[in-house]
Chains A and B, each alone.
Chain A
Amino acid sequence: MKNEMNELCSVEGAEYFEVEDRAPLAEVKLFARDVGVKYGENEALKNVSIDFMEHQVISLIGPSGCGKSTFLRCLNRMNDTIEGCRVTGEIRLDGKDIYSKATDPVEIRARIGMVFQKPNPFPKSIYENICYGPRIHGMANSKADYDDIVEWSLTSAGLWDEVKDRLNEPGTGLSGGQQQRLCIARAIAVHPEVILMDEPCSALDPIATAKIEELIDELRERFTITIVTHSMQQAARISQSTAFFHLGELVEEGKTDDIFTKPGDERTEAYITGRIG
């Protein structure tokens, strides 16, 4: 147990702290107050309040069933698609209430992109997968525009060199890691302000995971990223802030190194030392 802790600290210690220092001055991008979620009679989440800083990666961790994915899906109103799901509280994107009647969920989702646990490329060509978002949002005027978008998105997702010769092949033919990067490329092609990632590496092997993590760190420069993960090491490696959820509650939230080195709540400590979860 002790060894594991040491290892964890050494991984996070050396190189990633500098990254945070380079980050531009943070502002609150997304702001959640007293968010609660009920599925019918079932209370899945209660009283969650977090501020999401611009150009930061924030990890949501916790044992499975703790409500972290539910909370993530609240942030771009994906819970709307689930029957009998009710969201209470307040979530604001740049000060705009995303749950107000006047707000269109389509607009919110265009500004807050999402990457899912299992890679879910559309059963279309790689090219069409990327173009899908720009097309529905009317972003391009010509074939050349689309070509630019595809090249830039795939390059940003670190996939361009691997697929540039087979853009017309179906996206489902790629390997799992490539598919997930394709999904990230698809998400950034519409230039969202926030990207939500729901355990994006859980279905991938370690090498593919490392690539995605690297990519997430690069993307931080341009986007605000929230990532749900059940790997504490991953949270430590890539995020600047971490929020720990347990049994539908937000236990504590703070700088990643603080959470992992001097947790304020005994439940957090119990989780990161492996006693619960």
Chain B
Amino acid sequence: MHNLIFTALILIFLLAIYHYGRRFSLLTVNHNRQDLHSLPGYYGLYLVFWFIGPAVAALIIWLLLEPPIIMGLLSESLTLSFQAAPDDVMREVRLLASNAFALKSATPEKVLLVNRYQELQALGNGIRAVLVLGGGVLGVVYARRFLSPEMRARQSVERFIKVLLILCSVIAIFTTIGIVLSLLFEAIRFFHKVSPAEFLFGLHWSPQTALRADQVGASGAFGAVPVFAGTFLITIIAMCVSIPIGLMSAIYLAEYATPRIRNWVKPSLEILAGVPTVVYGFFAALTVAPFIRGLGEQVGIAVASESALAAGLVMGIMIIPFISSLSDDIINAVPQSLRDGAYAMGSTKSETIRQVVLPAALPGIVGSILLAVSRAIGETMIVVMAAGLAAKLTANPLEAVTTVTVQIVTLLVGDQEFDSAKTLAAFALGLMLFFITLALNVVALIVVRKYREKYD
């Protein structure tokens, strides 16, 4: 609520400054606009940006300074027993401060700390507001001296806007860097506890044994091979469903279908792509899995209730529209002249497609399949809801297997101590997942780009 009021205040301030700058510039030339270098509004904007710049700078500096300062002040009130691991205490205090329910069951000592922490934070908020406003006002006072009719206000404003635009476009890069660094950082901490060799080549995965704090020494088994094997098993099943159906649909839509049919079928297939994955997960767990199980019972085959087959089948359905729409584009990009050449030799339509169009489109189709594979590997909800938890090294699609994403979710959902190998293992898995999908995407994008260049 305070934040809202503060934001509103700042906005009003900005409006006032804008008008001030505009009026000021007009006054300096006695309302003869043509004497001004730029339109009057630019002088207003110029001041506004001079407010925003220093204000944001002040805010950032304070945000960087605040945690150490609060921590320093707080550690003075820490009793000796806490001083051993101030970082952990701080983390706990922050958690308790945001969770009134947990606070009720905390020790009085901690409650005191939390209260002190909240006091300090309130103080910090006040200081922050003062700094932001003060910085902004200082900036405006400073910049006012430059206002003159000859001043190139428009250029200055535009330069500032351009910097803003550049900052926005760099956010995507920062996101990638953030992903890589955070995964890497946590994964390295994990590899301090578990050797990379064991993680990459170990055949046994049971992280749950290291649940309690006093068991940290006797940590569970972290051999990720069965987890990856499960992921690939489900992915392969999904691909077995989606490649034939998606590809044949794309071929039919691109080569045979009349525009009317295309106009109906394409959006319908896209609905499949728009269905949230949690819905597929529900469908897999409640409709498909029991169906397959029932089918298995009738022919006398034991099927696990969370079989890889059910999850893979439904994931395949989800992937169909990706393959069909990507391949459709790719097939349409094959030049008509190649088809004409084949028809003119007396090929039938299907001969033309199979022997000329598809070989020509092959690189692009492979690219789209790689993208689909990366999508399947990273898919989470379907497998969380329909695949198993226990890691099993098997190639039998009727058994329950687990996947990378399932493990990440089960390791991180619910209560967690942040330093246990169990939690950190999720980040190691995440890192592997990131790099595998990244590699698939990079290769796929290069292949598809090359392909498009060839026929452009």
Contacts and interface: CB of A to CB of B under 8 A. Distances in A.
A/B touching: CB–CB < 8 A = yes
Interface of A: 76, 78, 81, 83, 106-111, 113-116, 118, 120-124, 132-133, 136-137, 183, 186-187, 190, 196
A83 B260 CA distance: 12
B308 to A, nearest CB: 38
Interface residues of B, number: 20
A29 B360 CA distance: 36
B359 A124 contact: yes
B355 interface: yes
A137 B351 CA distance: 11
B344 A106 contact: no
Contacts of B337: 116, 118, 120
A187 B359 contact: no
A109 B258 CA distance: 23
A123 B359 contact: yes
A244 to B, nearest CB: 25
A123 B363 CA distance: 12
Given A106-B348, A120-B335, A122-B338, A132 B343 contact: no
A122 B342 contact: yes
A83 B339 CA distance: 15
A136 B341 contact: no
Question: Which secondary structure characterizes the binding site on chain B?
Answer: helix
B345 A113 contact: yes
Contact of A137 (B342, B346, B356): B346
A81 B343 contact: yes
B346 A106 contact: yes
Contact of A187 (B259, B345, B351): B345
Among B345, B347, B348, chain A packs the most CB atoms within 10 A around the CB of: B345
Contacts of A78: 340, 343-344
A133 B346 contact: yes
A107 B335 CA distance: 24
Closest 10 CB pairs of A and B: A110-B346, A114-B344, A120-B337, A109-B346, A120-B341, A133-B345, A123-B360, A106-B346, A122-B356, A106-B348
6 contacts: A76-B344, A83-B258, A109-B344, A110-B346, A120-B338, A120-B341
Nearest to A196: B344
A189 B359 CA distance: 21
Given A81-B339, A81-B340, A120-B335, A110 B345 contact: yes
B254 to A, nearest CB: 13
A37 to B, nearest CB: 17
Interface string B232-268: 0000000000000000000000000011000000000
A118 B455 CA distance: 14
Contact of A122 (B341, B343, B348): B341
Contacts of A115: 344
Given A109-B344, A120-B340, A122-B342, A136 B355 contact: yes
A275 B61 CA distance: 79
Contacts of A109: 343-347
Given A109-B346, A110-B346, A136-B347, A116 B341 contact: yes
Nearest to A115: B344
B225 to A, nearest CB: 40
Given A106-B348, A120-B340, 17 more contacts: A76-B344, A78-B344, A81-B343, A83-B259, A109-B345, A110-B346, A113-B344, A113-B345, A116-B337, A120-B335, A122-B341, A122-B356, A132-B355, A133-B346, A136-B345, A186-B341, A196-B344
Contacts of B343: 78, 81, 109
Contacts of B351: 136
Contacts of B258: 83
A55 B359 CA distance: 36
Nearest to A133: B345
